[in-house]
Amino acid sequence: MSHDTSDRNLRILLASRPERAPSAENFTLEEAPIPEPGEGEVLLKVLYLSLDPYMRGRMSAAKSYARPLEIGEVMEGGTVARVIASRHPGFAEGDVVLSYSGWQRFALSDGTGLQKLDPARAPV
């Protein structure tokens, strides 16, 4: 693997549903090993995370257009990430992609929903 093995995967999980405005108590910071990609998967290193208003609704169990996050799940969010290891024929190490990797440093993907970006066309 090309990633620094001293790195750990830091993930922010939904710990409880906010009653009003979200606070630090609604989240848990978890340190975990960096996952290894299986056949057909890529390992992504998140470069940028988009924080959007819809995330508040995903923390609620109320009926909505999108499935609510379960307690203990990684917080969802759109990301820009770099492929740092690939066992997927459509992606190579070094590719930069749009993904929904969420609030974590590293994520696995089977390629579904990933969109390649071209850093030569515009700054990432």
- Tens digits of per-residue pLDDT, 92-103? 999 999 999 999
In a domain, 74, yes or no: yes
Q: What is the pLDDT of residue 5?
A: 45
Distance from C-alpha of 12 to C-alpha of 104, rounded to nearest angstrom: 6
Structural domain for 65, as ranges:
8-116
Count of C-beta atoms within a 10 Å radius of residue 104: 22
* Residues in Cβ contact with 32 at an 8 Å cutoff, skipping those fewer than 6 apart: 8, 9, 11
Tens-digit pLDDT profile for residues 41-88: 999 999 999 987 778 777 888 777 777 888 999 999 999 999 999 999
Place of tokens 């090309």: 2
Q: Which pLDDT score is estimated for 62?
A: 78
Q: Report whether pLDDT(3) > 80.
A: no
Question: Is 3 contained in some domain?
Answer: no
3-state secondary structure of 27: strand
Domain total in the chain? 1
Identify the CATH number of the domain in which residue 27 sits: 3.90.180.10
Residue 123's contacts (CB-CB under 8 Å, 6 or more residues apart) are none
In a domain, 121, yes or no: no
Is 55:69 a contact under the CB 8 Å cutoff?
A: no
Tell me, yes or no, whether 70 lies in a domain.
Answer: yes
Cβ-Cβ contacts under 8 Å for 21 (sequence gap 6 or more): none
43 in a structural domain = yes
Kindly report the pTM of this predicted structure.
Answer: 0.85
